Chain A
Amino acid sequence: MSEAVSEAPVLDVSSELRAVHSHLARRMLRNPFGLLALVILAIIVLGALLAPLLTSYNPGAASVTNVLLPPGHGHLLGTDGAGRDVWARLLYGARYTLAGALLATVVAAIIGISAGLVAGYYGKWFESTSSWITNVLMALPGIVVLLAARAVLGPSLWIIMVIFGILLAPAFYRLVVAAVSGVRHELFVDAARVSGVSDARIIARHILTVVRAPIIIQAAIVAGIAIAIQAGLDFLGLGDPTIPTWGNMLNDGFTNLYRDPQLVLWPALAIALTCIAFTLFANALRDELERSARPARRRRAAATAAARTAAAEPVQPGSGTVVHEEPDSPGSATLLRVEGLAVGYPQPDGSITRVVDDVSLDIRRGEVHGLIGESGSGKTQTAWSVLRLLPPGGEILAGSVLLDGENLAEASNAAMRDIRGVRIAYIPQEPMSNLDPSFTVGSQLTEPMRVKLGLSKSQAKTKALELLGRVHIPDPARTFASYPHELSGGMAQRVLIAGAVSCDPSLIIADEPTTALDVTVQAEILDLLRELREELGVAVLIVTHNFGVVADLCDRVSVMQSGRIVETGPARSIFADPRHPYTRSLFGAILEEDHARGPYAVAAA
């Protein structure tokens, strides 16, 4: 049964994942803002295309006698300063304005995307040259360049838009380069290369699929900018006066602002509406993208999802917690007692996903207690709940966490802050990502000591150097002055351990402290933890999935499965005689130390 649990397909029925199955385009239509944007754009495009049907006036037909007429009398929106019909100019203007924007966007996209693909995939000098050119292109305000171009090339809309497209190419270039460089080193690209897929196909299939949607978002934004700039140039009177554009209309309206104030309204509305539609579309697409793929959260999502399915599975037969009796009566007092702890994540549809269910354990003063389980067992969630540092959305649903009698599950935030660091400390799993990259190691060590213990700057520094020495860092002064990115994984972990013991806690919660480290470094860190336990008498709750670590370090062990503790007791007892079926299956999965591969024989196949 446990086999089924860890291998069960993660069939998540929540609406989130269901949405993921359907195509991105369909999801866009379901998104209210996306739909609104598409409708607005459709209306404007239709208006432009059907202009001859919607008006009988010629947008360029000036008439001295009909200047600045108000709406009505055959002119739907009146006439402008040259007697031309406003509605007609609006409709035909849409054609030129949109066509110009499209031209700029397409030029920018073609240049930017192709340069980006090549630079991102092949890198080297092509990338450095392109990046340099990009920086130069972005160094000048677009308007200034366009004005300069206008100065010598004249007012042609198309030429200006092509030049603008070139200026906007960096927007696509940077996007594509970043996306491609990000994906280029992904293992599935390596796997495709080993499978014999050609470079061109890799780019087309594997890389473009990843970068497709961001390109569309960028195109929408660029189109909006193109419309704005184009309108701006026309507004300044630098556009082509012979063709109707919204910018020209704005210019005319502004000139006649005092005589006919409502003339600016129509082109302004048209421009604003179109730009808003583009922006809304881009935002909606971005939101849908973010919702469907969160690569950084993949692992955690999979883990919690596994826990979800696992928790939904029927309870194992005979699965009350198996407790191994202690042969000797417990000598030390209980430091931390967890009783009936339940932790869950409320879902948007009102249900609650439980990741920890009815967990009870106690940790005695000075003992090392192992919490072992596979991914999705809830062991890390349990550890975090003791510190009340669950990820956003997580809540303690029931139960108590008693530290010397005080219930941490219900303590105030202020009370928890006093306890953290001083009475309960935390050693995280991934050393490199758990140090603030913008501050030196020294300042991160001394800051809590100064804040929590009231030490002066020099006192804290002395103590920090002493701690660094105690965790066997060879050159404490140098490490003190270093930034986290200058340290190796093992050293960073020692720094974190030093920080954890700095305020003399009575309990340390260590979340898989050696999983991210090399084996030889792991052994040293385990030695260190043992040393510190002997020296300081601190209790340790160590979360791990490795039975070897448990055998090396732990006095007592609790085994977790699907949010529950299935077996608990002294380490020796559990190793000698595991009773719960899950524990036994775990032990069964441990590779036999003695088993080796037979001798090599030329295979018959």
Chain B
Amino acid sequence: MLRFTVRRLVHGALQLLVIATAAYLLLYLAAGNVARTILGPDATAATVAAKNHELGLDTPLLSRFFTWLGHAVTGNFGASWLTSQPVTTAILSRLEVTLTLVLGAVVVSALVSAVLGVWAALRGGWVDRLVQVVSVLGFAIPGFLVAVFLVRALALGTHWFKPTGYVPLTTSLSGWVQTVTLPIIALSLATIAGVSQQIRGSVTDALRQDWVRTLRSRGLPEGRVVFKHVLRNAGGPALSVLALSFVGLLGGAVIVEEVFGIPGLGQVSVSATSQGDIPMVMGLVVAVGTIVIVVNLAIDILHGFLNPKARLS
């Protein structure tokens, strides 16, 4: 188990390195004359050159990259070109907000999907049909549409939820609930659609396995056969889908934060990108990449724990 974890960690670090390198090189190669973009078409050549020097952009690309890498490993991602605020501070302050939304959505999705999927597989009937309808709708309707609809219908119409803003948990529980509920619902819908269908599928598959009949032939109660044995075997594929969905959730968070006016990483991504703030974008790429790798690692470990054969890969 330990060797498995270490191997995955090393893989993850390597992936992060590749992503960061590719992102850095691509961004700067495509960026053109940065100082000119910031200062505008009217600035003189001298001012532009001075700005380029100030931002350290007159040194070769590769050496810049290694400098950046060296700083990045210590947690220093430079300063934003727009606000001059240190990138690290900007990201960390917003990290908690986005993580709340995304992890909240993961937990909600996992729980709801598990219940729906298992119920649909075991009982069929109307729950099964409900799961299928939810799947179609959840897949089909983009999360942000749901968000828009929720804002329009619920927040404007009623006063149960706040349409915009974010109240940290530490400040006020009710405020927190009021501000995160709708965003989490909007985020979760698509994930629930996919994961519940997957769970339904893997539970149905597991139920068809030969060893289920053999376990029943030993006289074990049905509850034990299903909840101890079948679910454990069906968990693996479901976890894989959850891992994949997580990446989608992060993406969805970007838009949902815009819709609900939540000051998270998503919001800052939009502003940084629309204005070409490369240090900020790099910081975001690394931050998001790290989150994904950590969560994937956690899910892989859970997977290996559930399914001994997976530890071999």
Contact = CB atoms under 8 A, between A and B. Distances in A.
| A, B: real partners | yes
Contacts of B57: none
B220 A451 contact: yes
B232 interface: yes
A435 B276 CA distance: 58
Contact of A148 (B211, B229, B281): B281
A523 interface: no
B255 interface: yes
Contacts of B23: 148
A232 B255 contact: yes
**Chain A, interface residues (CB within 8 Å), range:** 35 or more
A140 B83 CA distance: 26
A275 B140 contact: yes
Interface stretch (A104-112, A181-189, A414-422, A525-533): A414-422
A151 B276 contact: yes
A238 interface: yes
Interface in A400-428: 413, 417-422, 425-426, 428
Contacts of A321: none
Of B211, B248, B255, B309, the most chain A CB neighbours within 10 A belong to B211
Contacts, number: 208
A236 B228 CA distance: 46
A334 B98 CA distance: 72
B43 interface: no
Contacts of A268: 145, 148-149
A150 B136 contact: no
A417 B225 CA distance: 12
B168 interface: no
A238 B270 contact: yes
A438 B31 CA distance: 52
B254 A224 contact: no
A312 B110 CA distance: 50
A457 to B, nearest CB: 16
Contact of B140 (A141, A147, A235, A272): A272
**Chain B, interface residues (CB within 8 Å), range:** 35 or more
Contacts of A152: 26-27, 30-32, 276, 278
Contacts of A421: 217-220
B19 A447 contact: no
Contacts of A435: 211, 214
Of A143, A439, A448, the most chain B CB neighbours within 10 A belong to A143
B16 to A, nearest CB: 8
Contacts of B217: 387, 389, 420-421, 425-426, 428
A138 B19 CA distance: 11
Nearest to A297: B208
B141 A276 contact: yes
Given A272-B141, A417-B221, A436 B210 contact: no
A151 B271 CA distance: 10
Given A147-B254, A148-B27, A439-B229, A419 B269 contact: no
Given A228-B142, A236-B270, A238-B270, A143 B136 contact: no
B80 interface: no
B248 A438 contact: no
Contacts of A439: 229, 232
Interface string A198-213: 0000000000000000
Given A139-B19, A435-B211, A419 B244 contact: no
Contact of A447 (B148, B220, B269, B284): B220
A166 B293 CA distance: 21
Interface in A256-303: 257-258, 261, 264, 268, 271-272, 275-276, 278-280, 283
B233 interface: yes
A138 B233 contact: no
Contact of B139 (A279, A413, A437): A279
B281 A438 contact: no
A258 B152 CA distance: 9
Contacts of B224: 451
A237 interface: yes
Interface string A219-232: 00100100111011
A152 B274 CA distance: 9
Interface string A437-450: 11100000001100
A138 B308 CA distance: 25
A65 to B, nearest CB: 27
B144 A437 contact: no
Interface string B222-253: 10100001001100000000001001101110
Contacts of B137: 276
A258 B157 CA distance: 11
Contacts of B141: 271-272, 275-276
Nearest to B18: A136
Interface string B270-313: 10111111100100110011001100100000000011110000
Contacts of B248: 141-142
Contact of A434 (B214, B255, B292, B309): B214
Contacts of A140: 19, 247, 285, 288-289, 292
B216 A433 contact: no
19 contacts: A142-B248, A143-B251, A148-B273, A151-B274, A232-B142, A238-B270, A271-B141, A272-B141, A279-B139, A421-B220, A425-B217, A425-B218, A426-B218, A434-B211, A434-B213, A434-B214, A436-B233, A438-B233, A483-B309
Interface of A: 135-136, 138-144, 147-148, 150-153, 221, 224, 227-229, 231-232, 235-238, 250, 254, 257-258, 261, 264, 268, 271-272, 275-276, 278-280, 283, 387, 389, 413, 417-422, 425-426, 428, 430, 433-439, 447-448, 451-452, 483, 485, 496, 499, 503
Given A144-B288, A434-B211, 12 more contacts: A136-B15, A140-B19, A141-B248, A144-B254, A144-B285, A236-B255, A236-B270, A254-B148, A276-B136, A417-B222, A436-B215, A438-B229
Interface of B: 15, 18-19, 23, 26-27, 30-32, 132, 135-137, 139-142, 144-145, 148-149, 151-152, 156, 209-211, 213-222, 224, 229, 232-233, 244, 247-248, 250-252, 254-255, 258-259, 269-270, 272-278, 281, 284-285, 288-289, 292-293, 296, 306-309
5 shortest interchain CB distances as A-B pairs? A421-B219, A141-B251, A426-B217, A228-B142, A143-B251
